[in-house]
A and B are shown apart, each in its own frame.
Chain A
Amino acid sequence: MNPITRKLVAKELHLYRWLLVGGTAAGLAGLLSATTGEVGFNIGFIVWLTAVIALGVMLALFGVASERKERSQLFILSLPLSHRDYVRAKLLGLLTCFVLAWAVLSAGALALIAVMPGIPDGLLPYGVLLCIFLLMNFSVVLCGALHIASEAAMGGLIILTNMSVSLFMMGVGRIPGLGEHMQAPAPVWNTPFWLLVAALLAATALALALPLFIAARRRDIL
């Protein structure tokens, strides 16, 4: 990583530190609430899920779209960096911001499933898959933000990715080899699980790599 990229990554962490703290705190509060019983669990899960999704959307919107709209992108582009440096720094910076919060919240959620009595440990693979899906979801939104200048198109992408979370949660339980083990007392880490993990990670990597091949190679950055 060159020095300017490092400084730009640090810049993202500085600018969004309170958003990260707030989002992480809200997600952890959701997890805490989930320990208080069935109703608390449902509310807490929604708060946790909302915190992770909203954090990802806000980071992509504030970090890329708003910077462009508020015309501070030009300030960054005036620095000694190339288009490629800019795109790489944005990807790394915003991904680092998201991963910091996502890692804490994912670990918290999985720990909750593992230690809380009444929640079958069979849900752990489902939890892992959901967490990775949320990481992929953020990567897709970030990829979109780096390629799409239109607010309407960006809004459409956010709606689609949000809908996809619900569809994933419903659909993953129907996948043969996954759904039938969700209520099991012990987690089942079988081939369908690993295949889905691999597919989600591949999609994440693709979403994060695309800007380096498309956005970074644009001749005109403005």
Chain B
Amino acid sequence: MNAKVIEMTGVRKAFRFFTLEDVSLALEPGQIMGLVGPNGAGKSTTIRLLMGLLAPDAGSIRLLGHAMPEDQAVAKRDVGFVSDDMRLLQHASLAWHMDFIASIYPGWDAAYAATLLKRFGLHAGQVARSLSTGEQAKALLLLALARRPRLLVLDEPTSGLDPVARQELLTEFMDVLRDDSRSILFSSHNTLDVERISDRITFIDRGRVVAASDKEVFLERWRTLRLRVTGAAPAWQLPEIVHRDVDGSFVTLTVDGFSEEFLARLGAPVQEVHRMNLEDIFVATVMHSRQAQEARPS
């Protein structure tokens, strides 16, 4: 059986000043999906809907095949969820938390927990309130990872972590995926982290999914082109061109859907073609989506 791990279809959730509109996501077993968006884009709302903490106004959500939020008690048995908004119980020790989680999740791997404890530089006897923000994040991730869930849902898991801790964590995520049946959904506005570990990426902005694709497809499709023109820059009407900068006789085009065939249609001598990193692709996608939204008659 190769059922989808996450299946969100046409999900809508309205608040007083923010609406998540028509969000659809799908994640296959063994994939890492990066949910990327600026602050306030709707990443956390999407994840809370997925985890059953909020109920959608419209659309359907299935987590590991279970309808959410109705079947959340069953669905969450195989999910490790960590959010940067989450804290441990302040008056209990990390050892108590580990025993508590071990008593709930039969798949708890005590040896792995001990390894992570050492790797993250944590001490089981530490009381949660004495942990720094970064240590809290690491402790929460330890508790999520050592239960060996089929799905890890991580909402901004690396925020508040130093670069070394971030590196350790990303390595752990990759380790999780050695088992093909496990999957990760993680939200971040740190495109570097997402680019490093994700194989599927969804961009979200102002409550809407603005683009979703495999990472390689994104990286293959987007280019910046540098051209030198004589006279005024041509008014290209090609749908692949999402942005252009004119600086004297130099024109820089940002292109979504680059191909040899596109170059032929462009019909101008291109001096340089550059691949774009995920951050540049993200910014270009969001800006293009916003321009399109603003141009649309209300």
Contacts and interface: CB of A to CB of B under 8 A. Distances in A.
Nearest to A71: B87
A222 B103 CA distance: 25
A83 B81 CA distance: 16
A221 B53 contact: yes
Contact of A71 (B74, B75, B86): B86
Contacts, number: 73
Contact of A78 (B74, B76, B90): B76
B31 interface: no
Contacts of B48: 222
Given A15-B92, A80-B74, A75 B104 contact: no
Contacts of B73: 4, 80-82, 85
B89 A222 contact: no
B140 to A, nearest CB: 7
Interface in A76-130: 76-83, 85
Given A71-B85, A82-B72, A15 B91 contact: yes
Given A14-B96, A82-B73, A72 B88 contact: yes
> Taking each of B81, B91, B128, which has the highest tally of chain A beta carbons within 10 Å of its own beta carbon?
B91
Interface residues of B, number: 31
Residue of A15, A67, A79 with highest tally of chain B CB at under 10 A: A79
Contacts of A76: 89
Contacts of B54: 219-222
B88 A77 contact: no
Nearest to A18: B91
A219 B55 contact: yes
Nearest to B96: A14
Given A74-B86, A80-B73, A222-B53, A14 B104 contact: no
A199 to B, nearest CB: 37
A174 interface: no
A14 B100 CA distance: 11
Given A74-B83, A80-B74, A80-B77, A7 B100 contact: yes
A174 B55 CA distance: 51
Nearest to B54: A220
Contacts of A74: 53, 83, 85-87
B51 interface: yes
Interface string A14-28: 110000000000000
Given A71-B87, A78-B51, A82-B72, A4 B140 contact: no
Contacts of B91: 15
Contacts of B87: 70-72, 74-75
A191 to B, nearest CB: 47
Contacts of B128: 72
Given A72-B88, A78-B81, A78-B86, A220 B55 contact: yes
Given A71-B86, A75-B89, A220-B55, A81 B76 contact: yes
Interface string B35-59: 0000000000000100111110000
Contacts of A80: 72-77, 104
A219 B91 CA distance: 29
A64 B51 CA distance: 21
Contacts of A3: 104
B85 A7 contact: no
A222 B91 CA distance: 22
Interface string A201-222: 0000000000000000001111
B66 to A, nearest CB: 11
A72 B92 CA distance: 11
Nearest 3 pairs of A and B residues by beta carbon: A219-B55, A78-B81, A80-B76
Given A74-B87, A82-B69, A82-B72, 17 more contacts: A7-B103, A11-B89, A15-B91, A15-B92, A67-B89, A71-B86, A75-B87, A76-B89, A78-B51, A78-B79, A78-B81, A80-B72, A80-B73, A81-B72, A82-B73, A220-B53, A222-B48
